[in-house]
Structure 1
């Protein structure tokens, strides 16, 4: 069942959208503001977001940009003002569609179905390329990493080590296994080489590298990410 997130400060509008989408077989999650929506997107796989422009704490334009830092999820923007649509179409917010309020729920439903068809043509591989760990987002396709919305510059080997650990949460990798998996060499293994790269990753990712929250050491065994 496809999951759609409806983000609007008006509970009556959320209810109307929820009913129409649910009747079409979609699973609907609601958020009353952008910050709540961003937290949901970090923890739940969502196929489409319906997002109002005018909201407290963070407006929909800012939220749209931040959603695209976290995910390739399609976004339909809603607004009560034509000026908002003009602003949206003139900005690189990456919104996929726009509708003015008040709107016909059947028209919104048609727009939703169009986005879902487009998404199915692109394929789920692209949408499954992201790994979320707390405030860390790893994009395997783009070979990019963001932490709390900020881009983190990693070397290719640093990225490969991070991707290896993050792709197997909870699994402990010995330095030998990391070396063979990342360097692709069965010989020339060095404990020190792996240790140096782990240390560099912690400096870039951790607030307190000596007390890491992401890459944990399992003493005498290796490293893991929970």
Structure 2
């Protein structure tokens, strides 16, 4: 595995432990930083494929660091934090995080989540067979992995794209959050409902024509979510 991983945490013991486990799993290109300043420098130097980021750093708030990072790149960010409330998790996703891992954690769980993120990133960048999915307000180009609205390419993370594509390829079917997590995140035991809900919220903000109304991804109370394909009318 050649993916470059950046580990950012103020606790050297955590960094060393994760490095050991990741190397046993085949990752070789690993960089470590204990401050936001050091992390920024490493990001400029070697352009990581994924960042594991502690929320509480000595010189910067990890959430704010991620928000600034999102202005420049869509590299997957996995938050590490001792904060466990739903509000903290939702804040992490709202700031641009792709996953949220609470301390104390099993290092193998972190490794598993890293692999999932990298797998989605790889699929996102792969050129698939030419295929267009056209809807009234947006389109999905499976050949270039692009989502367009009003002629402009929308910014999607790899997981957001994978989730939207899964919905679009399975229209009018109801999926529970557990089913979505298992099929898109490819995990069964890790994560929770809030992860899926926040990603759906972020997708809605990008594809829905009206911010106060839901047209495509509907929440079916007590059952799950369903994608309604409002097809683009033929000219």
Relative to the length of structure 2, the TM-score reads: 0.50
1:95 Cα offset (Å):
0.2
Number of corresponding residues: 127
Distance in 2 between residues matched to 1:42 and 1:69, nearest whole Å: 14
Q: Which runs of 5+ in 1 are unaligned?
A: 126-140, 143-226
1:124 Cα offset (Å):
6.9
Which SS does the other structure have where 1:55 is aligned?
coil
Distance in 2 between residues matched to 1:14 and 1:45, nearest whole Å: 19
Distance in 1 between residues matched to 2:65 and 2:26, nearest whole Å: 26
Check the 8 A contact 1:42/1:70 in 2, yes or no.
Answer: no
1:92 aligns to 2:94 (yes or no): yes
1:106 alignment counterpart: 108
Q: Highest Rg: 1 or 2?
A: 1
Distance in 2 between residues matched to 1:124 and 1:5, nearest whole Å: 23
1:1-226 aligned within 5 A: 1-26=2-27, 27-83=29-85, 86-90=87-91, 92-123=94-125
1:88 Cα offset (Å):
4.1
Structure 2 CA distance for partners of 1:59 and 1:8, relative to 1, 3 Å: same
Distance in 2 between residues matched to 1:52 and 1:101, nearest whole Å: 10
Structure number with the bigger relative contact order (C-alpha 8 A, sep ≥ 6) is 2
Which SS does the other structure have where 2:71 is aligned?
helix
Distance in 1 between residues matched to 2:76 and 2:126, nearest whole Å: 13
Check the 8 A contact 1:38/1:67 in 2, yes or no.
Answer: no
Q: What's the CA shift string for 1:158-194, capped at 9, x where partnerless?
A: xxxxxxxxxxxxxxxxxxxxxxxxxxxxxxxxxxxxx
Which SS does the other structure have where 1:69 is aligned?
coil
Structure 2 CA distance for partners of 1:121 and 1:7, relative to 1, 3 Å: same
1:33 Cα offset (Å):
1.0
1:43 Cα offset (Å):
2.1
Which SS does the other structure have where 2:97 is aligned?
coil
Which SS does the other structure have where 2:75 is aligned?
coil
Structure 2 CA distance for partners of 1:19 and 1:70, relative to 1, 3 Å: same
Which SS does the other structure have where 2:121 is aligned?
helix
Q: Which runs of 5+ in 2 are unaligned?
A: 128-152, 155-235
**Divergent runs of 4+, >6 A:** none
2:202 alignment counterpart: none
Q: What's the CA shift string for 1:72-96, capped at 9, x where partnerless?
A: 110000001214x623413621100
